[in-house]
Amino acid sequence: MAIVNHEFANEIIQYGAKEFKACFNCGTCTAICNLTEKNANFPRIFIRKGILGQKEEILQSKELWLCYACGDCSVNCPRQAAPGEYMAAMRRYAIAGYEPTGLTKLIFKSNPLSIVITLLLAMVLGFFLFTMKPEMEVARWIFKYLPYEIIHTMGLIIFSFTGLSMVWGMLAMIFKLRKIAPKESKTKKSFFKALSAVIAEMAMMKRYRVCDEEEDSFWLKKPLMMRPWAVHWAIMWGFIGLLIATALDFAFKDPATTYWLPSRLLGTIAGILLVYGASMAIIYRRKKITRTYQQTTLADQMLLFFLWIAGITGFWLEVAVFIDADTIVNHIVFVIHTIISMELVLLFAFSKFAHAIYRPIALFFYNKS
Amino acid sequence: MKEKIGVYICHCGGNISDYVDVEELSKMFLAEENVIISKDVMFACADSNQKAMVNDIKENNLDAIVVASCSPKLHLHTFKNVASRAGINPTNYVQVNIREQCSWPHSDKPKDATLKAAGLIRAGINRVSHSESLDNIEIQVKRAVLVVGAGVAGMKAAIDLARLGNDVYLVEKDYFVGGRIAQSEKLFMSGQKGKDIIAKLFAEVKSYANITLFTGATIEKVTGSLGNFHVDINIKPLYIQSNANPTTLKAAMNDCPITVDDEFSFGFKKRKAIYKNYDEACPDVPVVDVEALRDADEFLAKYASIFDFTQQDAVLSLHAGSVLVSTGFDSYQPKEGEYGYKTVPNVVTLPEFNKLMALSPDKLVFNNKTIKSVAFIYCVGNRQAKGENKYCSRQCCTSAIYTSIQLNENYKNITAYHLFRDIRTYGKQEILYEKSSKQGDIYIRYDEKEPPVVAQGAKAIQIKVKDFLTSKKELEVEADMLVLVTGMVARDDSKLISEKFKIPIGNDKFFNEIHPKLKPVETVIKGVYIGGACQGPKNISESVQSSLSAAAKINALLKGGTVSLDPIIARVNNDLCVWCGKCAEVCEYTAIKEVEEGDKHIARVNEAICTGCGICAPVCKPNAIEIAQYTDMEIESLIDGFMQEVTLTDKETESHEEAENETLKMKEFPQMWKNILQSIDGGKKNIPQIAEEISVDTDIVTYHVMTMNKYNVVMADGMDEKEAYYFYKRKN
């Protein structure tokens, strides 16, 4: 027996699903969705769960993460209840729900707070950077007021705080999904089969491509490179590529100056992908090219903007290092690049970015059952 | 006995003549001694043939005609009109159905079909030879209307009838007008208050001198019929002096020491023993609750000048040409324990809840509890597959949703749960449903087989329900108040009204119209009409629509001062009648009365009421009753005609197929065929081209071309470019 909780609906609205209460359960969203499978009630049933306030069931569902927000349901909804936006809001709710600190809630629910938190984090990170170069004049001036150890430890604490939150969130999600996963099922697949299916999906995102290829869809007539699938793919692999390149650079303690080194080559290609993807995504949001891009949150916009800045400043620095221009401008760009990149990593657990972890987990459970 | 009969036998373009040998039949009947003309025609209904028939009748001075063709349902009136145009009384026309009764059902046995057709046509000829010319019955009508029930439907109809120049007697059972509308509060969609609408209507009613309003009045006795109803009404006394001083009256109402539960407000408040239903109730004269005031001697003595306890029931006789019954409905009253009604605190019906809301303007408190959440259960006492009321009441979904919207507007932070089966907010009312969803009302759909279970919880009412929209997930809703959305039922006194006016009652216990689409406000009793929700669940606009349509019907009926009725009714032979009373016993319309004629008692048929149903004729032992157009003579001769031996010329050898291939021998083609042939003479054409050229519908052209093709008048000649149609050319 589940108790109906009417207050939950108001909470979901704060996560961005402003119109979902208008839903009258016709099921058009389910019928129109390319990803609906044989238990045909997705996404309708999730709106139902939201209206009835069944929080736990929402946190326990892998299906939330199977949606790629193509927006067809929102376009076709007869009551303009925007099921697509609702699904996105529920993912935000789930990110906030898995992560233990409550920071995500603040970031998603309040725009001013999300700006304050980002700026605060940028400041702390800036100070932390100075602890890496304590001999600088500005650094020495700061350390007069705040001891070096405090700032350095604080930075380390923040990094481990993020890491721990992420791990906690992952575990929380796995724990919840396991709870409702069928124990004995004939169709149950092995662990490795499910894992390989997740990796295959991450590599090419076949399901996402299905969304763009809807009959009469806006994107079907556009070149492949312009479709949301390609844009998302570029951002994702661009970011992963850059992470690997940075890690390699860091490992060899040599910010390589020769562009043909494998890690540099990878960094360049990945950077191009990231800047392309982020630019396209920003342009689409600006132009509101389809229904999906009409409604977006400040936190999501900021994330894209940071990715773009990180990419652009990265290229700037690459050129600067190549021509060996040790100027103040380049130093500032370097500081910005580092702060933004670190901020991206730090906000990982507390932003839309977290879907990079949660979606594969959901896909794993989906493939396993 | 008719001497000059004309017989027309129709081919129906092959529909009949393919199986029935119409040519032989037409020859056969020409031999009958009283048949002057007997013809077989391609399409009897065609304009050209109708003209030819009129000419035949006039030239040969025919006195009766028989057309053997299709069902009378199709063309009875067509040929009755032909008879009229030619100057014959239409009652001297008989239609014989040889298509639905011969050629179509017996297409496997053409000879038998022809034999049967011969029998039927001869029966028709025999019957028409005994037919008599009858004229419509004219009845004088009184231009006054009795309107029963002064609710919104009755008042609106009364106003329009009065405006059109009819005298109106508006009879209301309660002491105040307005019915259920006056009792309701804010009404969807406009948000107007019921009281305000009634006040406006009452002012209008008062402004017409030809409307007489009787309140506290009931129908006692109804006699008479269409055009002349005599209705006795009983008027209950108010026990107030007719010339009582209004200020003293008001003072008495304020001073009255005795209060009782106010039924009009469902007992949510008290009323005085000298009272009005509500402050603005119309008419503006209070009523005295004599029972309650029995022992209040001091009060009675103080205000002795306004009371008059000598008043008694008065019976008044009214004379009206027509009656409009608009007695309205009752709200379904849940049984004790139905969804916790009367057994769990804070369970009320929707009308009760609306009244409660109106009495609690700022804060909703009931039974000392501030209401923070309200649950609605829909379809209570309605749409029960196995229960008593199978129908949907149409207005309750919208009404409940509108109440829920008001809840949100009037009080802050109240959650509404709607436990529904289907939401039926049809038409513009859908806007309210959307508004309610958007304001955050929670809709939970239950299945009739698994209705919600209501129990008293520790803090609130607990309702357990299986949500149909979430794979029958078991849910628990906690609500401070439960509202049962009840529908409409027929009034408990509707049976009395039905007996008085003889209006039939349906299975749903509401009054029955004749035909839901074609005669929606007429009853089987001529001159008695129904309007509003006494006919079945309706919302206010639908009620008013129906009563206004009845008003228009009534005005059309009474306007001329006379009414013309079909002459097919029962007739009494005064010489044979011995008045045994059997006929009056069986007559469902009470059309037969005993009268004194000279020295004996006989039966008399009221022409205005009799419908010619014929139930009286067979019970009459001395055979004194007959039905016009169905006299014994006509029916017996009809049977004799059918039983008469028929011999056909022997055509056995001629097989059916050969007949089909033979070119049609027609004296003249129908005009349509001529047009089609003329059009394709210029070269081969397909059907759409022909249709365009002679500007006739393609379906009609197809029909004729197919028939012409069958009789080898035209033939197919290759297909068009798109291979969609055949080209046709004339066959030589």
Test B476 with A79 for CB contact under 8 angstroms: no
pTM over 0.90: no
Q: How far is CA B378 from CA A24, A357, B467, B565, in A?
A: 16, 46, 14, 47
Q: Which chain B residue lies closest to A78 (C-alpha atoms)?
A: B434
CATH topology of domain B669-730: Arc Repressor Mutant, subunit A (1.10.10)
Closest in A19, A41, A52 to B442, CB measured: A52
Query: What letter would DSSP give residue B717?
Result: E
pLDDT over 70 at A293, yes or no: yes
DSSP strand pairing (B259-261 vs B270-272): antiparallel
Residue B555 and residue B547: Cα distance in Å, rounded? 12
Average pLDDT of span A104-129: 85
Pair A227, A206: CB distance under 8 Å: no
Is B562 in a helix, a strand, or coil? strand
Test B442 with A23 for CB contact under 8 angstroms: no
Tell which residue, A104, A11, A30, has the closest CA to residue A357: A104
Q: Which of residues 121-150 of A touch B (CB under 8 A)?
A: none
A26 near B CB under 8 A: no
Where would I find the beta strands (DSSP E) of B62-119?
64-69, 93-97
Average pLDDT of span A60-78: 88
Pick B242 or A41 by higher pLDDT: B242
Closest in B439, B464, B475 to A52, CB measured: B475
Which of the residue ranges A219-233, B203-217, B329-343, B416-430 would you say has the lowest mean pLDDT? A219-233
Task: Tell me the chain B residues in contact with residue A52 when contact means C-beta distances shorter than 8 Å.
Answer: 442, 444, 467, 470, 475
Test B477 with A10 for CB contact under 8 angstroms: no
Strand partners, B511: B505
Tell which residue, A77, A48, A46, A81, has the closest CA to residue A63: A46
Q: What pLDDT is stored for residue A248 in this prediction?
A: 83
Average pLDDT of span B151-164: 98
Tell me the ipTM for this assembly.
Answer: 0.85
Question: Which of A6, A8, A13, A42 has the most B C-beta neighbours within 10 Å, making it the best mutation to test the interface with B?
Answer: A6
Is A98 in a helix, a strand, or coil? helix
Q: Which chain A residue lies closest to B441 (C-alpha atoms)?
A: A21
Residue A310 and residue A331: Cα distance in Å, rounded? 15
Which range has highest mean pLDDT (A74-88, B159-173, B604-618)?
Answer: B159-173
Q: How far is B231 from chain A (nearest CA, A)?
A: 53
Q: Is B566-628 CATH 3.30.70.20?
A: yes
Q: What pLDDT is stored for residue B653 in this prediction?
A: 47
Digit-coded pLDDT (tens) for B498-516: 999 999 999 999 999 999 9
Q: How far is A97 from chain B (nearest CA, A)?
A: 23
pLDDT over 90 at B695, yes or no: no
Which of the residue ranges A174-188, B341-355, B669-683 would you say has the lowest mean pLDDT? A174-188
Q: What pLDDT is stored for residue B175 in this prediction?
A: 96
Q: Under CATH, to which class is B331-488 assigned?
A: alpha beta
Test A4 with B464 for CB contact under 8 angstroms: no
Q: What pLDDT is stored for residue B664 in this prediction?
A: 58
Domain positions in chain B: 5-134, 144-236+317-328+491-562, 246-312, 331-488, 566-628, 669-730
Q: What pLDDT is stored for residue B143 in this prediction?
A: 96
Residue B99: what residue type?
R
Q: How many residues does chain B have?
A: 732
Residue A60 and residue B731: Cα distance in Å, rounded? 80
A189 near B CB under 8 A: no
Tell which residue, A59, A60, A52, A64, has the closest CA to residue A8: A52
Digit-coded pLDDT (tens) for A119-168: 888 888 887 777 777 777 777 777 777 777 777 787 788 888 888 999 99
SS3 of A107-137: HHHCHHHHHHHHHHHHHHHHHHHHHHCCCCH
Closest in A1, A25, A51 to B476, CB measured: A1
Q: In angstroms, how far is CA B476 from the centroid of its own chain?
A: 45
Test A6 with B442 for CB contact under 8 angstroms: yes
Q: How many CB contacts within 8 angstroms connect chain A with chain B?
A: 60
What is the residue-averaged pLDDT of chain B? 92
pLDDT over 70 at A183, yes or no: no
Domains B144-236+317-328+491-562 and B331-488 share a fold: yes
Pair B161, B551: CB distance under 8 Å: yes
Q: What pLDDT is stored for residue A4 in this prediction?
A: 92
Closest in A2, A4, A9 to B440, CB measured: A9
Q: How far is A30 from chain B (nearest CA, A)?
A: 13
Residue B476 and residue B202: Cα distance in Å, rounded? 48
Q: What pLDDT is stored for residue B286 in this prediction?
A: 92
Question: Which of A8, A30, A49, A52 has the most B C-beta neighbours within 10 Å, making it the best mutation to test the interface with B?
Answer: A52
Closest in B373, B415, B476 to A3, CB measured: B476
Closest in A1, A24, A52 to B464, CB measured: A1
Tell which residue, A4, A7, A25, has the closest CA to residue A83: A25
Task: Give residues with Cβ within 8 angstroms of B448, minimum separation 6.
Answer: B379, B383, B384, B385, B421
Closest in B373, B464, B470 to A45, CB measured: B470
Q: How far is CA B192 from CA A344, B183, B496, B529, in A?
A: 59, 13, 33, 29
Q: What pLDDT is stored for residue A254 in this prediction?
A: 60
Residue B396 and residue B290: Cα distance in Å, rounded? 36
Digit-coded pLDDT (tens) for B592-621: 999 998 889 999 999 888 889 999 999 999
Q: What pLDDT is stored for residue A256 in this prediction?
A: 52
Residue B429 and residue B719: Cα distance in Å, rounded? 54
Average pLDDT of span B530-554: 97
Q: Cα Rg for chain A, rounded, in angstroms?
A: 22
Average pLDDT of span B625-645: 94
Q: How far is B434 from chain A (nearest CA, A)?
A: 6
Test A6 with B417 for CB contact under 8 angstroms: yes
Task: Tell me the chain B residues in contact with residue A49 when contact means C-beta distances shorter than 8 Å.
Answer: 470
Task: Give residues with Cβ within 8 angstroms of A300, minimum separation 6.
Answer: A352
For B371-412, the DSSP string reads --EEEEEEEETSS-SSSS--S--SSHHHHHHHHHHHHHHHSS
Architecture of domain B5-134: 3-Layer(aba) Sandwich (3.40)
Digit-coded pLDDT (tens) for B97-122: 999 999 999 988 899 999 999 999 99
Average pLDDT of span A183-204: 79
Q: How far is B347 from chain A (nearest CA, A)?
A: 19
pLDDT over 80 at A253, yes or no: no
pLDDT over 80 at B347, yes or no: yes
Q: In angstroms, how far is CA B227 from the centroid of its own chain?
A: 20
Digit-coded pLDDT (tens) for B46-93: 888 999 999 999 999 999 999 999 999 889 999 999 999 999 999 999
A9 near B CB under 8 A: yes
Is B303 in a helix, a strand, or coil? coil
Average pLDDT of span A108-113: 86
Q: What pLDDT is stored for residue B495 in this prediction?
A: 93
Show the DSSP H helices in chain A as ranges: 8-14, 28-32, 44-52, 55-59, 72-76, 83-98, 103-109, 111-132, 137-145, 148-180, 191-204, 206-212, 228-251, 262-287, 298-323, 328-346, 355-368
Q: How far is A146 from chain B (nearest CA, A)?
A: 50
- H/E run at residue B281: none
Q: What pLDDT is stored for residue B666 in this prediction?
A: 65
pLDDT over 70 at A40, yes or no: no
Query: A168-190 burial string, b = 16+ CB within 10 Å, else e?
Result: ebbebbbebbeeebeeeeeeeee
For A30-48, the DSSP string reads HHH-TT--SS--TTHHHHH
Digit-coded pLDDT (tens) for B439-480: 999 999 999 999 999 999 999 999 999 999 988 899 999 999
A23 near B CB under 8 A: yes
Test B440 with A6 for CB contact under 8 angstroms: yes
Token duo for residue A156: 């380390």
Q: Which CATH number fits domain B144-236+317-328+491-562: 2.40.50.100, 3.40.50.10300, 1.10.760.10, 3.50.50.60?
A: 3.50.50.60
Task: Check the CA dihedral A63-A64-A65-A66 and report its sign.
Answer: positive
Q: How far is B375 from chain A (nearest CA, A)?
A: 12
Task: Check the CA dihedral B356-B357-B358-B364 and report its sign.
Answer: positive
Digit-coded pLDDT (tens) for B209-265: 999 999 999 999 998 889 999 999 999 999 999 888 889 999 999 999 999 999 999
Q: What pLDDT is stored for residue A36 in this prediction?
A: 82
Q: How far is A265 from chain B (nearest CA, A)?
A: 53
Task: Give residues with Cβ within 8 angstroms of B514, minimum separation 6.
Answer: B522, B523, B524
Closest in A2, A6, A21 to B476, CB measured: A2
A51 near B CB under 8 A: yes
pLDDT over 80 at B649, yes or no: no
Task: Tell me the chain A residues in contact with residue B443 when contact means C-beta distances shorter than 8 Å.
Answer: 24-25, 51
A1 near B CB under 8 A: yes
Task: Give residues with Cβ within 8 angstroms of A123, minimum separation 6.
Answer: none
